[in-house]
Amino acid sequence: MNETVNIGAMPILALRGLVVFPEQTVHFEVGRLKSVLALEDAMKKDQTLLLMPQRDVSKDDPELKDLYNIGTVAKVKQILRGQGETIRVLVGGLYRARIQELTQFEPYLRGVVSSVPDTEVMDNLSSRALRREANNLYGTYLEMTDHQAQPVQMKMLASESCGYLADAIAQNSGMDFKDKMKLLCQMNPVRRLETAVKLLRQELEMVRLENSIHEKTKFTIDQQQRDYYLREQMKAIRDELGETDDDEFAQIEKGILLLNLPMETEEKLLKDLYRLKKQPFGSSEASVLRNYLDVVLELPWNKKTKERIDVTAARKVLDKDHFGLQKVKERILETIAVRQMAPENPVPIICLVGPPGVGKTSIAYSIARALNRKMARLSLGGVHDEADIRGHRKTYVGAMPGRIMTAMTQAGSSNPLLLLDEVDKMGSDYRGDPSAALLEVLDSEQNGAYRDNYLEVPYDLSDVMFIATANNPDTIPRPLLDRMEIIELGSYTDEEKLMIAKNHLIPKQLSKHGLKKTQLRISDEAIREMISCYTRESGVRNLERILAQACRKSAMELLQNSGTKSIRITGSNLEGYLGPRKFLPDRLPSCDQVGLVTGLAWTSVGGEVLEAEVNVMEGSGKLELTGNLGDVMKESAHAALSYIRANAAKLGVPADFYKTKDIHVHFPEGAVPKDGPSAGVTVCTAMVSALTGVTVRSDVAMTGEISIRGRVLPIGGLKEKTMAALRHGIRTVIIPKDNEKDLEEIDQTVRKALNFVSVQTVEAVLDTALNRRIDAGAPALLASIPGDVKSKNRKPGLRQ
């Protein structure tokens, strides 16, 4: 049929969850009164009626809007009346049709129906291939589902109609109702068959998954039955031999009594053992109790290692394992000395704070070795769940003790050293706050009776030595930080890195790569180049990776060139082993310039020099700040501008500059975020220089916070900043007066090489940094610092 044909009026039967396709035979049950009456009307005439699927299967009395647009005209072949009002009907689909007009709603649906023909398509090679693919897929489907549809399959193989194949696949497969309706509403036979093939592939995948799940379930059930049968046989054999589980229970009871536990703990464990004896074999409760008792018995309740409290021996171990870190070593040795004098005192809880790679974790291992304590490490980075620390209650499936108790079991001693690594990187969410769970662990007044949620009995942690590590103490909650003594590990100087590389890293890497000392030699010059041009860090992790790379290259060269017996790496041939230099030294101004000042900054990987550039232009008094600056740094620039306006006459700056001049302050490397108050004096000096036209000394660097009254306030990170100044060829460093006390912590090499000028006011900074003649009557604002080296560029009358 190529055109729509008006068939005439006929009864309409609404189908729920069922689709009947043309040329397909289907049987179904009819129970609704309207459907029964429509069926009886059809049987009185030509036995044809329109079968229309309804959209909502829950609707008992559908209207026209509740029916799909397309249905199937079918001929009733057989009716069987069963018990009750249900009728079983066998119909054969004829063709697709739609309702043109609904002429009757009661007592059953009746309307004018028109046929909907298929679109005519040409039979070509593509459609033949599609039919073959459909037949193959349907054959596979029948094999996997044991579907009894061989007659249908024979008709499908003999048919050359794409539409018939699609309808047959849809009618005789387990496709969803909505997918079948898509096929019923598709008038193009080829597209209909393409869709049917696609849906049949999905159905095949579903059948494969169902078969796989069925096989696994069947195997599990068979295995359980087999295990049960074997257990019953073993039980019968044991009964015949006189062997029972009482031997195992007796061993557990003996183990509990031998631990010499406190009365409360012992009674609790014996009670759980008694409950275990009463459990039937194979019950889940018995498995939980058995695992619980095994975990408790594995804990080192009364096992201790003999602590070696010897300051001299501990000093040797620490000096052998680590170079430098004198302050940290002294504090640890003081702790050991106090333990030697008063062993009954609680062990102090130490938190080592410092940038990555400076040896926090490794020094904890050295402390354990020096004290002859066993060691266990708890990595707390990323821990969000309180149960990770305290454990889960044993009633939960898969419950286990917390990390503290697990670490005690791993250590095998009741007085180990527990390293709480990355304690600053714990988080908290709806599952609790793990840092709050650590409060009891790290409190010497409470940890003598620590209760893990899984153990449910007190455990003594008072003999445990806790050492925590952190990169940033600001992220540690205040109550937890209050329980720990902070020891800061600063960045290594270049000289310290050189000695660490020579004494520790190079021998370690030579051993790792199977090289002898005579086969590879690295000069001090090459090591210094590695430190300054290939790494930019506070610690030595990247330096160790660079040395490992040099060892790998050398090993390859020794194997490829059989004539080469020894390799020497120097500064001149370093690029051949490590490639081009990654970090080139910052070039400082070769001459004194106007509006260009060198500042000092602290970063997480050490100190850096920071140039501040200022341009003054004709304008309306705008202040432009660029260079990816933070709010604090911007406020420092505004404070500097306020000071200059308030003291314009004294500084030699035009009084109306804030009306007639635009000032642009820029910090290079705009991709790097910058913040903090310590660049205040740097910005102020650059502004004054640009406004007055006086040049700034290129060999002077400075750091300090500025107030709007011209005071220079103290800053942090002085050690790292001064090392950066020395590394970049600075000779004079201006620091706040209140930071003089921090000079004692600076390496002697740095102190001897730099001239430190301490100041209290901005006037003193300008007198030192700007190339202008100092008024002979100016007050002496700078105090002398003992031990400082006189600067070659010091101006007449300037005092330190």
Residue 516 has pLDDT above 70, yes or no: yes
CA 607 – CA 145 distance, rounded (Å): 73
Q: Report pLDDT digits (tens) over 524-554.
A: 889 888 888 888 777 888 889 999 999 999 9
- Checking if the pLDDT of 242 tops 70, the result is no
Q: List alpha helices for 391-540, DSSP H.
A: 403-411, 434-441, 478-482, 494-500, 506-512, 524-529
**Cα(454)–Cα(674) distance, rounded to whole angstroms?**
48
Q: Which residues are catalytic?
A: 678, 721
> pLDDT band at 799, cuts 50/70/90?
very low
Q: What is the pLDDT of residues 568-598, one digit of tens each?
A: 988 888 888 888 888 776 666 678 889 999 9
- In sequence order, what are the beta bridge partners of 417? 375, 465
Q: Which two tokens stand for residue 264?
A: 């409360």
pLDDT tens digit sequence for 328-384? 888 888 888 888 888 777 888 889 888 888 888 888 888 888 888 888 888 888 888
Task: Compute the mean pLDDT over every residue in the chain, rounded to the nearest whole number.
Answer: 83
From the list 566, 492, 569, the residue with the least C-alpha distance to 527 is 569
Alpha carbon distances (Å) from 362 to 314, 323, 367, 485, 539 = 15, 12, 9, 18, 12
Q: What is the DSSP letter of 343?
A: T
For residue 57, give the nearest of 94, 28, 16, 23 by alpha carbon: 16
d(CA 111, CA 63) in angstroms, rounded, equals 12
Lowest-pLDDT choice from 138-142, 166-170, 628-632: 138-142
Highest mean predicted confidence (pLDDT) among 258-272, 286-300, 556-570, 633-647: 633-647
Q: Which residue has the tokens 């095949």?
A: 204
> Rounded to two decimals, what is the model's pTM?
0.58
Q: How many CB atoms lie within 10 A of CB 519?
A: 17
Q: What SS3 state is found at 211?
A: helix
Pair of tokens at residue 487: 């020891």
Tell me the two tokens of residue 659. Answer: 């009306």
Check pLDDT > 80 for residue 17: yes
Whose tokens are 């060139």? That residue is 561
What percentage of the chain reaches a pLDDT higher than 70? 92
Closest to 759 measured CA to CA, from 687, 684, 698: 684
Q: What is the pLDDT of residue 33?
A: 86
SS3 content of the chain, % helix, strand, coil (to 5): 45, 20, 35
